[in-house]
Amino acid sequence: MDDRVKLDPWFVHDRLIVGLLTDLEKAAVEHSLGPANSPLAAVYKSTALSDAVAKYVVTRKVPSGAREYVAGTLHKGQLVWFDQKFHFKGVAAAHGKGLTRGAFLHTKLDVDESVRVHGEFNPQRVTSGSSLVQLKGHQQQFVFAHVSDIDEGGIEIRPILLGHMIRPDGIFDEYVCNRVSVHPSRIDQFKDVKFAVPGASPKDLEPLRAVPEEQVKRWFAEILHEPVVPKDWGGEQFDLWTDKMTIDGENQVAAIQFKGPAKFSRMTIKTLGANGDQIDRLAQTDADLLVVQHCHEITAPVSNMLRAVVSQPGRQRRYMIIDGYKTLAILRHYGYLP
């Protein structure tokens, strides 16, 4: 993982984690444990194990379960991670009774809500009293797990670690999941654009129906003062590459995917290729900011897929969504559309 990113664990399955490690990695964990009789022994242990998982996810390039599912490559026995909201049930009750079963988690996969992700874990392996609060109700969690089964009922997982992926930032830690999305209003070139349009509806997007994708791309290049506008060709990684976009005066290297009115409708993951492969191609670039623009509305699964891509441990980046409403606001602000 990026050396400034760690995992704050609420549940760790030490036996499963140790079973994944090499002898050298096991020795590093043992070196970090500290005195066995220390009152902080449990803290040292959970920290050492979560650090080992963080390193493992990065060095083995463990993929996002959501991304693997969309690509059609998710399989039984695979190690994956999810970073989204999960529903937790029975954790505190089972823990209080000393039970080793009875703690459950489940969610709808955020890139395809028809798919249920679910599993059970040992509540006696929680790391602290705070875990019983964090693993209760509906909570955002980083879940590192084995895929136990895939069937019509969804994806069954066996959790290995539950926690938060964090980025230390001075005194305060920041959840990675809260910092990966960039609203267009944060871009210096768009800071004076009036994005808020109360009561907007799809019929307000009609002016974009007749504007070709190539024209929108050229207008955005002019706004950003980007002189190089590549021609479209099959298999391209991006439609526009620029380092002229800035946030608070700091240049961002951005890869932008434009989608025009060939299909004037809401963007779904399939709009970006059968398996969302155009998002994967964006992700294969070295851009720090991945941008998807569309002439119409953009559905939540597209945003969630981008979030999964840019949250890859060890290569955290950011993404931005520019839907039809924001596109109209930008183009009208600069006088390209009435």
Query: pLDDT per residue over 227-278, tens digit each?
Result: 999 988 767 899 999 999 999 999 999 999 999 999 999 999 999 998 899 9
Cα–Cα distances in angstroms (integers) from residue 96 to residues 9, 40, 45, 129, 239, in the given order: 19, 22, 22, 11, 55
What is the rounded distance in angstroms from the CA atom of residue 291 to the CA atom of residue 255?
Answer: 6
CB atoms within 10 A of CB 14: 16
Residue ranges with strand state E in the chain: 6-12, 79-89, 103-108, 116-121, 137-151, 154-169, 172-175, 240-247, 250-259, 289-294, 318-322
Query: To the nearest whole percent, how much of the chain has pLDDT over 90?
Result: 83
CA distance 199 to 178: 27
Contact status, residue 91 vs residue 125, Cβ threshold 8 Å = no
Residue 4 is predicted with a pLDDT of 61
If pLDDT is split at 50, 70 and 90, which confidence band does 170 have? Answer: very low
Q: Which amino acid is at 129?
A: G
Identify the residue whose tokens are 């931005």: 320
Mean pLDDT over 169-189 rounds to 75
Does the structure show a pLDDT above 60 at 3?
no
Flag whether pLDDT at 176 surpasses 70.
no
Q: How far apart are CA 32 and CA 25, in angstroms?
A: 11
Residue 11 has pLDDT above 50, yes or no: yes
Mean pLDDT of the chain: 93
**Is residue 235 within 8 Å of 278, Cβ to Cβ?**
no
Instruction: Return the minimum-mean-pLDDT range out of 13-17, 150-154, 296-300.
Output: 150-154
Residue 37 confidence (pLDDT) above 80 = no
**Band of pLDDT at residue 2, cut at 50, 70 and 90:** very low
Q: Which residue has the tokens 């002898």?
A: 23
> Quick one: pLDDT at residue 178?
61
Exposure string over 258-276, b if 16+ CB within 10 A, otherwise e: bbbbeebeebebebbeebb
Say what the pLDDT of residue 231 is: 85
Which residues lie across from 181 on neighbouring strands?
A: 319
Mean pLDDT lowest among 31-45, 262-276, 283-297:
31-45
Res. 171: pLDDT tops 60: no
| CA trace torsion 248, 251, 253, 254 (10° rounding) | 50
